[in-house]
Chain A
Amino acid sequence: MAKVYIPTSLRRLTGGQTHVEVEAQDVASLLEELEQRFPGLRREVLDEQGAVHRFVNVYVNEREIDDLGGLSTPLKAEDEVAVIPAMAGGAVGRPFTLEQAQRYARHIILPEIGPVGQRKLLNAKVVLIGAGGLGSPAALYLAAAGVGTIGIVDFDAVDITNLHRQILHGHSQIGRPKVESARDRLADINPDVQVVAHNEPISSENALEILGQYDIVVNGSDNFATRYLVNDACYLLGKPLVDGSIFRFEGQATVFMPGKGCYRCLFPSPPPPGAVPSCAEAGVLGVLPGIIGTIQAIETIKLILGLGEPLVNRLLLFDSLAMEFREVKIRRDPGCPLCGDNPTVTELIDYEAFCGAPAREVPAGEAVSVR
């Protein structure tokens, strides 16, 4: 008796059964036997010519039958046969493995995602600026969703003061570089994901080279210099920027699409140093970046899949105490020095000078760089 795994999308034909046992000599007979017991099942697997549909794979003991004997692949007792939906046409990559089809089953059966959408997620490359309060939930959900390549840019080590909000990291990781803590945690969430660790501060020297390797940038940075740097780099590279920020009990989120406004259109100049307290100075509700960072993950997934209405030209405002979401409009400013009609910023500048403050705290004894 071979044991056959029935994918979610076909269980309506098998009365909900996820596994059925079938006695058959080979895969072709197995499908005949299944048709006898569950009418309608065969045409879900085979086309009119009797070949397996392009969007379905059949595995015997986790090997695709194309690598074995096709429909003539012989079956022995205790063999495990799995029928798995793959991607629907197009040269978009390998079929899903059995494990992937199970892992992403709840995505694949959504008509709006399907195998094609899941393959887009697996092919996508997203970089997170910061693996902190915002980066943590964003990274966790993007990895769970199967975003195939996740880059993380963070030069910090995990500190105990991070743990009330930076849920990517745990107590056991205190003292480790955040990118390493992130890599281990995300590998556990989803081994499909390749995590690229950029254990360095992002600067005018490396921003274009790092961000240029990815499709979408998710900003979870914690200072204005980095915000303007990442904004400028994304515009110059033509990459969408999924932006989020938090302060005490409030948060903001938006998507900057090149050509439709940028961070400089929204805030042409940074506040003078000291005008806006940091989280260390003012405090922050730990769970707050969980909301904004997760919203950033949703927006990133929507961009990858081309689904829904992204927060382009919309600034989402969240007040956790009132539990209120509001929106204001963002416009491209024709006078913007970066993305306006007559740009004056055509390359990355000295952002620390622009903001009048360093991009990061410099540990005692370390050299301070001007840029």
Chain B
Amino acid sequence: MAVEVRVPSVLRAVTRGEKVVRGSGSTVAALLDDLEGRFPGIRGQVVEPDGTLRRFVNVYVNDEDIRYTGQLETPLRSGDVVSILPAIAGGR
């Protein structure tokens, strides 16, 4: 399933500065594997070494937090927009 991935400012070093990248996969897990091939390190920004989701980086499919829709097994459909959203706090 071809989807659009929105990459937050704080992670764009991994996507060579790209804010929007395309990827594919039938689930979020598959999408991350697909993205990792082209942007090494991106998976690790979202997923801990033990395979669980990082708790200060959220992933949304369209407007739903994947923690409530099946986590990494959340299914994807063509045209979905996947957003990666980190906690930000500004400061000084």
Over the window 1-40 of chain B, the binary record of Cβ atoms lying under 8 Å from chain A Cβ atoms (1 yes, 0 no) is 0000000111000000001000000000000000000000
B92 engages A276 (CB within 8 Å): no
A277 engages B87 (CB within 8 Å): no
Let me know if B47 is at the binding interface, CB within 8 A.
no
Residues of A within 8 A of B65 (CB): 328-331
Question: In the docked arrangement, what's the CA distance between A361 and B86, Å?
Answer: 23
Residues of A within 8 A of B68 (CB): 331
Let me know if A248 is at the binding interface, CB within 8 A.
yes
Let me know if A151 is at the binding interface, CB within 8 A.
no
A222 nearest CB across to chain B (Å): 3
Within 8 A of B (CB), among A256-275: 266-271, 275
B58 engages A246 (CB within 8 Å): no
Let me know if A136 is at the binding interface, CB within 8 A.
no
Question: In the docked arrangement, what's the CA distance between A361 and B91, Å?
Answer: 11
Let me know if B55 is at the binding interface, CB within 8 A.
yes
Out of B19, B83, B86, B91, name the residue touching A328 (CB < 8 Å). B83
Question: In the docked arrangement, what's the CA distance between A227 and B65, Å?
Answer: 21
Report the tally of A-B residue pairs with Cβ distances under 8 A. 90
Residues of B within 8 A of A278 (CB): 89-92
Instruction: Check A284/B85 contact, CB under 8 A, given A268-B55, A271-B56, A327-B63.
Output: no
Out of A245, A250, A270, A271, name the residue touching B9 (CB < 8 Å). A250
Over the window 78-89 of chain B, the binary record of Cβ atoms lying under 8 Å from chain A Cβ atoms (1 yes, 0 no) is 000001011111
B8 engages A250 (CB within 8 Å): yes
Out of A249, A284, A326, name the residue touching B90 (CB < 8 Å). A284
Residues of B within 8 A of A223 (CB): 89, 91
B92 engages A221 (CB within 8 Å): no
A266 engages B58 (CB within 8 Å): yes
B90 engages A271 (CB within 8 Å): no
A252 engages B88 (CB within 8 Å): yes
Out of A249, A276, A326, name the residue touching B86 (CB < 8 Å). A276
Instruction: Check A247/B92 contact, CB under 8 A, given A268-B55, A271-B87, A328-B83.
Output: no
Complex: chain B residue closest to A270, CB-CB:
B56
Let me know if A289 is at the binding interface, CB within 8 A.
yes
A278 nearest CB across to chain B (Å): 4
Residues of A within 8 A of B19 (CB): 322
Instruction: Check A247/B90 contact, CB under 8 A, given A317-B85, A327-B63, A331-B68.
Output: yes
Let me know if A279 is at the binding interface, CB within 8 A.
yes
Let me know if B64 is at the binding interface, CB within 8 A.
yes
Instruction: Check A249/B9 contact, CB under 8 A, given A268-B55, A331-B68.
Output: yes
Complex: chain A residue closest to B6, CB-CB:
A326
Over the window 302-336 of chain A, the binary record of Cβ atoms lying under 8 Å from chain B Cβ atoms (1 yes, 0 no) is 00000000000001010000100011111101000
Question: In the docked arrangement, what's the CA distance between A327 and B56, Å?
Answer: 18
Complex: chain B residue closest to A329, CB-CB:
B63
Q: Which A residues have a C-beta under 8 Å from some C-beta of B?
A: 133-134, 221-224, 227, 245-250, 252, 266-271, 275-280, 282, 284, 289, 315, 317, 322, 326-331, 333, 361
Q: Which B residues have a C-beta under 8 Å from some C-beta of A?
A: 8-10, 19, 55-58, 60, 63-65, 67-68, 83, 85-92
Known: A222-B92, A276-B86. 6 other contacts (CB 8 A): A222-B91, A271-B56, A271-B86, A276-B89, A278-B89, A278-B90
> What are 14 A-B contacts defined by CB distance under 8 Å?
A222-B89, A223-B89, A224-B87, A224-B89, A245-B87, A245-B89, A247-B89, A269-B55, A270-B56, A276-B86, A278-B91, A284-B90, A328-B60, A328-B64
